[in-house]
Amino acid sequence: MNIVDGFRFVQGTRYMNGLRDYDHVRFLDFFEQQVKPDPYAAVRDRGMIKIAYDRASGTIRKNGNQAYFQSYSANNVDGGHVREFPPIDDDLISNEVFLHILKADAEVMNQYCHMVGKTSLDISVHFIRYKAEQGGASYSSPVWLHVDDEPLVFIHLLQLTDNAIGADSVISGMNGQPTNVMRLSDPFDTLIVDKTRKHAVTPLGSSGGIAYRDVMLINVEAEVQQK
């Protein structure tokens, strides 16, 4: 379903409107407390919480299902089975910065709900820290261009350190030929993707020391993912 014409880049200044620089720093501190080694890949740290969003009231609550599933067609590395990640603390649900970001995302989510006639959504929130030493690499799963099961994915940058190499977002048509390359570099720079284009992020490297790329994914889940 075409929701954002394949992809949409939103500058972080839009999300920062109404927030202070200190709010971003405070949220990054919370992020760092939550991420733990990804049990499925040593090159990443991770955390996840799943929430239920009610469109009419705009309220959220913790979902009873905290497992994450991707189909093999969406992820030929880790798809086809249920994964369980280190849990993000329930405090996220009442975190003012998170609620501010989610409110902005809800403008697009509500358009999707209207198009498909949904009144509520299952949403997975992922904290992912890519970390690479000089000469090493940290990468996503799947590694290259793909289409997610999720009809909508919001990729919010929290931090990209100055020594980072790579970590560029790539968009392509369904033929896999890249059409757009962009870099999320400032706090809350955001890439929104739907299922009408493929997307990927290039591996993260370092020009010296340890480089970090910290992101928060807010994923509108599909029915196939409710395992």
User: What is the per-residue pLDDT across 73-122, written as a single tens digit (0 to 9) for each?
Assistant: 887 878 788 999 999 999 999 999 999 999 999 999 999 999 999 999 99
CA angle 178, 109, 49 (to 5 degrees): 90
For residue 71, pLDDT beyond 90: no
pLDDT of 188 higher than 90 = yes
Q: How confident is the model at residue 223 (pLDDT cuts 50, 70, 90)?
A: confident
Q: Which region holds residue 102: left if phi is over 0, alpha if psi is between -120 and 50, else beta?
A: alpha
Q: How many CB atoms lie within 10 A of CB 126?
A: 20
Reference 199, options 164, 166, 153; nearest CA is 153
Closest to 152 in 3D by CA, of 214, 196, 209: 196
> From residue 172, how far is each of 41, 48, 71, 128, 157 by CA, in Å?
26, 27, 20, 23, 20
Question: Residue 227 has what pLDDT?
Answer: 72
The structure's pTM equals: 0.97
Sign of CA dihedral 176, 201, 95, 13: negative
- The full set of domains in the chain, from first to last, is 7-225 (2.60.120.620)
Which residues are bridge partners to 204 per DSSP?
A: 138, 166
